[in-house]
Amino acid sequence: MKLLPKTQELWLCLGMAMGLAIGFTFIYAFRTEQSTSAPVRRPHYYRSHPAEDNATAVELYSKVRILCWVMTGPSNLETKARHVQATWTRHCNVVLFMSSVWDDGFPTVGLGTKEGRDQLYWKTIRAFQYVHQHHLEQADWFLKADDDTFVVLDNLRWLLANHTPEEPIYFGKRFKPFVKQGYMSGGAGYVLSKEALRRFVEGFRTQVCTHTSAVEDLALGQCMEKMGVQAGDSRDTKGRETFHPFPPEKHLTENLRHDYYYPTYSFYPILLVSVRESRLRVGVGGSREVGGPVRGLLGLVTLKTRPHGPMITSTVLGSAHQPCSTHSLQMVLLLLCGCCGARCPALSSPFPPVLAGPHEPAAAVANRSGSAG
């Protein structure tokens, strides 16, 4: 009996998954065997941190509480936001998906804006105001990301553990034009301390900050500077970037020092092959295509990112800090879900986040009920 095209596609995906999983398993077994007879040598920048184990990750999870809000839209819920919901946001303490309209099923928070790139800063303003009103005491740090971004929360907590939420500071990939202290590019996401969030909201309440530009990240950076919020340095101890605004293939295949505008925009010097060598990555920008966040994960794996603590599962990493076979299987499954256009299953996490639903005003509920009737 001749197989249908869809069936052939599924069998191809299954074959790829099995092949990759077997390959990962053999690589892991080989490296684990090597590690029993040879000491593990870590780069210099690892040595300043405490022991790398799950106990540290658990401790940081409770001490460095991060609320993640993801900017999305109705047309992206199943193609992009669903992948984000099933993967890296499971390591957030609280998760919110911000859209232009309410969707109780996903769920998303409706911000009452239109869709389109010219609406990005309005959505950002209203999203942070919403978070400030409803979730301020549930977290210490507040991460904004797009629905095509991939973030390693364990590495982000590692970075933020050296700071307090009372500091007026925010972190991301730092650009320099138009703002004296620089501003954080939106591509890889950026994170505000609790005090920075308070000042941002206060800036609009007092009209010190206004909607002056549709360029979201630049306009937010201008407001941060006016409100005395410091643009933080998120590089590792060797001066290498941890937030990367472009899709992973751009960082892998292109010499960004010769890019048309990137050297002019980057606040810090662009180091030779710095992206390929630094293992403390926090965020990677995605593509505007289907599967953007999945490609972000693929890029992080290819770039040899070292997550501090469990990245996707609660499995204890081996002494050589290589993912175990279960970890690899789940990563492969996630990648193939994105490549085949299927819905990703929710991967296990030692710290299930609060998937915060919309705190819909009573008036809005009444209006929607009336219109439905």
Report if residue 167 sits inside a domain: yes
Instruction: Give the E-state strand segments of 206-350 in sequence order.
Output: 230-231, 243-244, 283-284
Least confident interval from 53-57, 104-108, 250-254? 250-254
Residue 269: C-alpha distances to residues 10, 218, 229, 266 (Å): 45, 20, 23, 7
Q: What is the pLDDT of residues 135-145, one digit of tens each?
A: 999 999 999 99
Domain of 309 in residue numbering reads as 50-355
Q: How many domains does the chain have?
A: 1
Report if residue 373 sits inside a domain: no
CA angle (269 as vertex; 266, 275 as ends), nearest 5:
85
Whether residue 307 is preceded by a cis peptide bond, meaning omega within 30 degrees of 0, is no
* CA nearest neighbour of 178 among 126, 124, 225: 225
Which letter, b or e, does each residue of 73-84 get, where b requires 16 or more Cβ atoms within 10 Å of its Cβ? beebbebbbbbb
Q: SS3 helix, strand, coil % of the chain, rounded to 5?
A: 45, 10, 40
Report if residue 322 sits inside a domain: yes
Report if residue 164 sits inside a domain: yes
Q: What is the pLDDT of residues 143-154, one digit of tens each?
A: 999 998 889 898
> Is the pLDDT assigned to residue 119 strictly greater than 50?
yes
Percent of the chain with pLDDT over 90: 39
- Cβ neighbour number for residue 347 with a 10 Å cutoff: 17
Q: What is the pLDDT of residues 325-359, one digit of tens each?
A: 333 444 444 444 444 444 444 444 444 455 554 44
CA gap 46, 53 in Å, rounded: 13
Q: Does pTM top 0.85 for this prediction?
A: no
- Which whole number is the average pLDDT over 250-260? 63
Q: What is the pLDDT of residues 264-315, one digit of tens each?
A: 788 888 776 544 445 666 767 655 444 444 544 554 454 445 555 443 322 2
* pLDDT given for residue 56 in this prediction: 80
To which H or E segment does residue 157 belong?
A: helix 153-160
Sign of the C-alpha dihedral computed for residues 202, 204, 210 and 215 taken in this order: positive
Residue 225: C-alpha distances to residues 126, 196, 229 (Å): 19, 10, 6
Report if residue 75 sits inside a domain: yes
Report if residue 7 sits inside a domain: no
CA gap 256, 252 in Å, rounded: 10
Report if residue 370 sits inside a domain: no
Average pLDDT score, the chain: 72
CA angle (235 as vertex; 230, 240 as ends), nearest 5:
150
Q: Encoding tokens for residue 288?
A: 């505007």
Domain with 258 in it: what CATH number?
3.90.550.50
CA gap 208, 141 in Å, rounded: 23
Report if residue 265 sits inside a domain: yes
Q: What's the start-to-end Cα distance of the chain, in Å?
A: 51
* pLDDT given for residue 194 in this prediction: 98
* pLDDT given for residue 297 in this prediction: 53
**What stretches of 247-324 show up as alpha helix (H) in DSSP?**
248-253, 262-265, 274-277, 292-302
CA gap 156, 242 in Å, rounded: 9
Q: Encoding tokens for residue 138?
A: 């549930």
To which H or E segment does residue 8 belong?
A: helix 5-37
Place of tokens 């505007």: 288
